Amino acid sequence: MADYADVLTASIWNEGEHMADQAALLRQWLLLKTLSARRIGVTLKELAAEMQVCEKTIRRDLETFMAAGFPVAETSVRFGRKKWHLDADKFTPGMTFAFDEALALYLGRHLLEPLAGTPFWEAAQRGFKKIRASLGETALRYVEKFGDSFRQTSLGRHDYSGKAEVIDQLMLGIEDCRAVFITYQSMRATEPVTYDVYPYGLAYHRGSLYLVGRNPQREQICHWKVDRIEKANVDQFRFQRPAGFDLRQHLAGSFGIYHTDGEAEVRIRVRFSPAVARYVQESQWHASQKLTKDRDGSLVAEFRLDDTSEIKRWIMSFGASAVVLEPETLRVEIVAELEPLLAAYGCESRVQPAHHG
């Protein structure tokens, strides 16, 4: 998980009228990090210098922490000097997290909300419950102020709270290498179908869970979207998981979750206009990506994938700002999709495929 102080730093400029309050929260979070890291303590003067504020402000922050119930204490050291520190012994003895680490994990709990109902969510909730018990209600109310500085959008997010039993059965099958009978309705099917699968693992992609496993009827590895699994029941039959199967490696050639076995690797090159070049540069879209910026500000992105289905949709989301240079087959596929789109808008087709060297 990214350092929560960094997240706060990145988002704090956007708070407008609450800038002063947010700046104070950011300073106090950094102060907590410093106290957590300095096990032997740090003086008021040192803290003021590091936070670039006066000692009176730091003392007021420390008093706020103590009033909230944080294990902050002042001790005397050599020559009568006073040092401040976090008393780790007063915070859940035996816990392996530092104080600021536990706070960061607790504040990041909402990032797991899309997995509500899954075993991962349930286990995380048990951990958060321990942290809540350790902090106390007063401290929790104060800590929640930090959380108000960071939010994730819910666009396209899936709710798995109603899939707890299905996911539990899938997890049992994965852990015990036992076949699972699933009732599944694909996107194009009019009725659900029940058949057995050999589950290998779960993948989380764009807010959705996917089951990765072998379909013994087709004798190939397939992916099933968990949202479309209506029922799942573990069978007594045990299967042999392929030696060396690695979920990450299995998906290495995918631009997301779509995967095809036995397909040759495809080299894909796309030119992005200057208007979107920076946006594309800001993210790691695939492990194979190579980005080359041209003098005019445009960007050429190169990928090596097993299939072009998912990257085609991604490229088309940029509209005219993204043009496929190769392969020609992908250019033709995009043109084929643009033709009916133009027709739907009542426009005559002006799209002509062109060859690029």
SS3 209: strand
Burial track 285-298 (b if 16+ CB lie within 10 A, e otherwise):
ebeeeeeeeeeeeb
**Tens digits of per-residue pLDDT, 182-230?**
999 998 889 999 999 999 988 888 878 899 999 998 888 999 999 999 9
- The yes-or-no answer to whether 162-247 and 266-344 have a common fold is no
Mean pLDDT of 164-187: 89
Most confident of 35-49, 141-155, 189-203, 340-354: 189-203
pLDDT at 326: 95
Model-wide pTM > 0.85: no
Q: For the chain, what are the domain ranges?
A: 4-147, 162-247, 266-344
Quote the mean pLDDT of the chain: 81
pLDDT at 98: 73
pLDDT at 150: 65
What amino acid occupies position 167? Answer: I
Q: How far apart are CA 292 and CA 236, in angstroms?
A: 53
Q: How far apart are CA 221 and CA 133, in angstroms?
A: 44
Mean pLDDT of 120-133: 76
Q: How far apart are CA 318 and CA 276, in angstroms?
A: 8
Asked if the model's pLDDT at residue 240 lies above 70, the reply is: yes
Could you give the percent of the chain with pLDDT greater than 70?
A: 80
pLDDT at 261: 64
Q: How far apart are CA 63 and CA 253, in angstroms?
A: 54
Most confident of 94-98, 246-250, 293-297: 293-297
What amino acid occupies position 148? Answer: D
Burial of 284 by CB count in 10 Å (0-12 exposed, 13-18 middle, 19+ buried)?
A: exposed
Q: How far apart are CA 99 and CA 65, in angstroms?
A: 13
Phi, psi of 155 (to 5 degrees): -60, 120
Q: How far apart are CA 160 and CA 171, in angstroms?
A: 14
CATH number among 2.20.28, 2.30.30, 3.10.450, 3.10.20, domain 162-247? 2.30.30
- Helix axis angle for 164-176 and 119-135, nearest 10°, is 110
Q: How many other CB atoms sit within 10 Å of the CB of residue 187?
A: 6
pLDDT at 29: 78
Mean pLDDT of 48-72: 88
Asked if the model's pLDDT at residue 297 lies above 90, the reply is: yes
| Neighbouring-strand partners of residue 272 | 299, 322
CATH number among 3.90.190, 2.40.160, 1.10.1740, 1.10.10, domain 4-147? 1.10.10
Sequence length of the chain is 357
Mean pLDDT of 40-62: 88
Q: How far apart are CA 214 and CA 249, in angstroms?
A: 16
Under 8 Å CB-to-CB from 215, ≥6 apart: which residues?
A: 195, 197, 198, 221, 222
Written as one string, the DSSP assignment of 116-159 is TTSHHHHHHHHHHHHHHHHH-HHHHHHHHHHHTT-----TT---
Please compute Rg for the chain using Cα positions.
27
Could you give the percent of the chain with pLDDT greater than 90?
A: 31
| Neighbouring-strand partners of residue 198 | 214
pLDDT at 329: 94
**Helix, strand and coil percent figures for the chain, each rounded to 5:** 45, 20, 30
May I ask the CATH class of domain 266-344? Answer: alpha beta
Mean pLDDT of 95-104: 71
